Amino acid sequence: MKIALCNEVLRDMDFPSQCEFAAALGYDAIELAPFTLSDEPHLLSTKERAAVRQAAKDAGIEIVSLHWLLVVPEGLSINSPDNAVRTRTIDVMRRLIGLCADLGGSVLVHGSPNARQVPDGEDPEPYRKRAQDTFAAIAPDAEAAGMTYCIEPLAVRETNFLNRLNDAAAIIDAIGSPAIRTMIDTCSAGVTESLPLPDLIARWIPTGLIGHIQVNDTNHKGPGQGAVEFAPIFKTLLDVGYEGSVAVEPFIYEPDGRAASARAIGYIRGILETLAAPDAAR
Domain with residue 81: its CATH number is 3.20.20.150
Domain assignment of residue 137, yes or no? yes
Q: Do 70 and 96 meet the contact criterion of CB atoms below 8 Å apart?
A: no
pTM of the model: 0.97
**Enclosing domain of residue 246:** 2-276
The answer as to whether 81 is a domain residue is yes
Distant-in-sequence, close-in-space partners of 205: CB < 8 Å, separation ≥ 6: 237, 240, 241, 242
Answer whether residue 282 is part of any domain.
no
Confirm whether 281 is domain-assigned: no
Number of domains in the chain: 1
Residues with Cβ within 8 Å of 111's Cβ and at least 6 positions away in sequence, in order, are 67, 68, 69, 152, 154, 185
- Each residue of 224-274: pLDDT tens digit? 999 999 999 999 999 999 999 999 999 999 999 999 999 999 999 999 999
Q: Which residue(s) pair with 31 in the sheet?
A: 6, 65
Please name which of 40, 123, 47, 44 lies closest in space to residue 88, comparing C-alpha atoms.
40
Question: Which pLDDT value is given to residue 281?
Answer: 52
Q: Is residue 237 included in any domain, yes or no? A: yes
Instruction: Decide if 197 is inside a domain.
Output: yes
Q: Are 50 and 92 in contact (CB under 8 A)?
A: no
Counting residues of the chain whose pLDDT is more than 70, the rounded percentage is 99
Tell me the pLDDT band of 280, cut-offs 50, 70 and 90: low
User: What integer pLDDT is reported at residue 152 of this predicted model?
Assistant: 98
Q: Considering the domain boundaries, does residue 264 fall inside one? A: yes
78 is a domain residue:
yes
The answer to whether 78 and 44 have CB atoms below 8 angstroms apart is: no
- Tell me the pLDDT band of 86, cut-offs 50, 70 and 90: very high
